[in-house]
Amino acid sequence: MNKLVIGNWKMHGSPADLWDLAHAVQRDGLACDAAVCVPFPLLPAAHSALQASPLRWGAQDCSVHAGGAHTGEVSAELIARLGARYVIVGHSERRVALGESDALVAEKAHRVLAAGMTPVVCIGETSAERDANETATVLKRQLAPLARVLGRALSAVVLAYEPVWSIGSGDAAAPGVIADTLGLIERTLHFQAGMHQGAMRVLYGGSVNPRNAAAIMACPGVDGVLVGGASLHPADFLDICRAARRMANDREMVVIQGS
């Protein structure tokens, strides 16, 4: 399976930026599965700029409601009509600033799947929770509603482990920490949902850049990365995609040599 690189533009970007990215992809090619998740007003521009390219696009949130009288909300169905492939749900910035609960995040993931798209569900601990040795407790709590609400459909989710203390700090989690935490996530999913290794894609997010992307994606269990600030720069984003391709090639070489 190819590595997956998803860019989260947060509240940045413009139609011109999307066309710049599309031209860079056309010029340099795309070395892996990749997408950019943009603010709602940029979804039509993403459709126009990227529809002829291998780069997919998505949104950064959706409503928990399927439709109806919910002023200011944007349903997963409306997002899907603009050709989006992915929707990020449960990002820590929304969990913290808007008080989104684990149960709400699971319901949003359900809405995304029902609309025919892939939810990218973010989980992760804060620095205080890490320092209190509560990482396992927090991740199990965040995963439990997903297993309960989605059941077997959980395998269609992309899970993004984003330690909150790493996001925007410039310091990604150490490879050993990433590997250990993803091992914990794997064991938790096996216990909560009966899922086995490789049943779903698991990404790492948090201060990913072209300098550390290869080391991160070399960690056992990492199927790709969720990229913040670096995804706003086409050259950096495509460098990370090339690193993803190299990791996939290296893994294929190991399999061939061991067969």
Q: Is 88 left (phi over 0), alpha (psi -120 to 50) or beta?
A: beta
**Among 93, 100, 129, 162, the one annotated catalytic:** 162
Cα separation, 52 vs 22, in Å, equals 9
The secondary structure of 155-211 as a DSSP string is GGPEEEE--TTTTTTS-PPPHHHHHHHHHHHHHHHHHHH---TTSSEEEEESS--TT
The answer to the question of whether 8 is labelled as a binding residue is yes
**Among 12, 91, 107, 190, the one annotated catalytic:** 91
Asked if 91 is an active-site residue, the reply is yes
The answer to the question of whether 168 is labelled as a binding residue is yes
The answer to the question of whether 224 is labelled as a binding residue is no
The answer to the question of whether 75 is labelled as a binding residue is no
Identify the DSSP state of 132. Answer: T
Q: Which residue, among 64, 23, 18, has the nearest Cα to 39 in the 3D structure?
A: 18
The answer to the question of whether 212 is labelled as a binding residue is no
Asked if 107 is an active-site residue, the reply is no
Cα separation, 164 vs 190, in Å, equals 24
With residue 227 as reference, give the H or E element that holds it: strand 224-227
The answer to the question of whether 10 is labelled as a binding residue is yes
Structure tokens that stand for 62 in this block: 């959706």
| Contact (CB, 8 A) for 225 and 201 | no
The rounded Cα 224 to chain-centroid distance in angstroms is 8
The answer to the question of whether 140 is labelled as a binding residue is no
Residues known to be catalytic = 91, 162
Binding residue ranges for substrate: 8-10, 168, 207, 228-229
Binding residue ranges: 8-10, 168, 207, 228-229
